[in-house]
Structure 1
């Protein structure tokens, strides 16, 4: 295969992955790729399997592999399989031994951040050399830290050397959703374009579009996008969680959706937060008692 063609195919594979087209990544024919491109393609395919809930299969697939990229995939799969201690142990070892590897930076960084080790994750990710996935993850971490200022700086810096990148556009949209105002509309346009294009439409794009619609006060449009996403993937925890939020905003009963989320992802952060807030409310309520004349 022509090297320029192979590079283009790999770029397409990356775009499919970041657009949430995970099955297309898995089904992608890699037989004609060079050995140099075969490993990155395999890594993306394995990551797509993890995203589709096939973590145990991926763990079995990479068992015994020595390449840092595949060991890093194993760490991510262990995290998805709720083996966090093992995942962190692998990630920290990789961070010490293969910190200059772009795949290690992103996947080990993801594991460390998920385990609450933000500073370790940022220290690893900051060693990247033009790794847009690392940039995107750094932006996400800063947003989780409520450091929108640092997220903005990261996006602005990346924009100077990756002007038309899908990941930069997405990262800029994530920041826009935090900044608000006219940035909501700008972010909506990016998500809408991805959601409506037949070649790139995915549940992730639809959910992002719906969240932007919610911020823009367009509840009916947000509901339509989430219903479309649920039709494609009725067991997606993130779609269900966002549907719950929309129901509360619209004043609708969300008990059935909460029950669905509990069945699909009992440890989902939304449920944990809801339980925490309910406990705090009950505790505060005990300080007050009804006074009967």
Structure 2
């Protein structure tokens, strides 16, 4: 039986993780789990700690572990700490000998994609055998590659055999936000239900709801959701980044939010993109000289 299925032992801790309820993952009682599920549960808890900014502690904890799953966790922690080359080298070594290990596939895919090695990430993830985590990650990579057509096919195939899965609903919503139109509203329903229910609400789902609201033109509602997220965690970079975008859309001064994002996440994707666009503009502008009238 798939331990992450509706009847499996890990369904709740797995759902907590993908709902962004990382503290619930860490606090999850694993004492009654069967032996074969102890390692997957611990991997989820370690990933949750990395997501909460505890990568250094996680790396120190797993360095002497013998299981290959924890070697993959160590590489994920290294990646989070900016030790990209070491992380990629570790994953490539693990993939060569243990490429059929689901944890190595998923964590390896994350590390390789973060390093800009999309083809290697997809090659590793393609070895999965019915892993929804791998499918969700493949979908994200295709979206980052602007291959929405491939992301649509990936999710549609998963929907046929995992109809009620949280991960399929999330992946379908990610794709919907790229497709637009009526898909915006469908994605909103998924994230709004998660964000507003006390049992499933998290900073991640609040930000996801806000992104849907922005696409639907509901600026005030988006701002409320983002402010709720920042009340829970003032340094949450994605909430700051989306509030920054909202502020610009509404014609307000975003200098303070830009400063906050630079402080808490200096290499955030939004800042990197803005820097690249600024450099391109400067290069283009340098080709032209102002004409001075006599």
**TM-score bracket for this pair, using the shorter chain length:** over 0.9
Q: How does 1:75-90 map to 2 (within 5 A)?
A: 75-90=75-90
Q: How does 1:1-293 map to 2 (within 5 A)?
A: 8-286=8-286, 287-289=288-290, 291-293=292-294
Q: CA deviation at 1:282?
A: 2.8
Report SS of the residue matched to 1:151. helix
CA distance in 1 between partners of 2:239 and 2:9 (Å): 30
Change (3 A) 1:246 1:290: farther
Q: CA deviation at 1:24?
A: 0.6
Q: CA deviation at 1:68?
A: 1.6
Q: CA deviation at 1:265?
A: 1.0
Change (3 A) 1:41 1:254: same
CA distance in 1 between partners of 2:125 and 2:168 (Å): 16
Q: CA deviation at 1:275?
A: 1.5
Q: CA deviation at 1:225?
A: 0.6
CA distance in 1 between partners of 2:136 and 2:128 (Å): 12
Q: CA deviation at 1:290?
A: 5.3
CA distance in 1 between partners of 2:101 and 2:283 (Å): 49
Q: Identify unmatched segments of 5+ residues in structure 1.
A: none
CA distance in 2 between partners of 1:98 and 1:7 (Å): 28
CA distance in 2 between partners of 1:92 and 1:276 (Å): 29
CA distance in 2 between partners of 1:234 and 1:288 (Å): 44
Report SS of the residue matched to 1:279. helix
Change (3 A) 1:204 1:211: same
CA distance in 1 between partners of 2:208 and 2:293 (Å): 50
CA distance in 1 between partners of 2:132 and 2:30 (Å): 23
CA distance in 2 between partners of 1:290 and 1:22 (Å): 58
Report SS of the residue matched to 2:10. helix
CA distance in 2 between partners of 1:288 and 1:174 (Å): 44
Report SS of the residue matched to 2:267. coil
CA distance in 2 between partners of 1:212 and 1:43 (Å): 31
Q: Identify unmatched segments of 5+ residues in structure 2.
A: none
CA offsets per residue over residues 129-155 of structure 1, 9 Å max, x none?
Answer: 110000000000000111111000000
Q: CA deviation at 1:201?
A: 0.1
Q: CA deviation at 1:268?
A: 1.4
CA distance in 1 between partners of 2:39 and 2:70 (Å): 8
CA distance in 2 between partners of 1:247 and 1:88 (Å): 37
Q: What is the root-mean-square deviation of aligned Cα atoms in Å? A: 1.6
Q: CA deviation at 1:66?
A: 2.1
TM-score (norm 2): 0.95
Q: CA deviation at 1:7?
A: 6.0
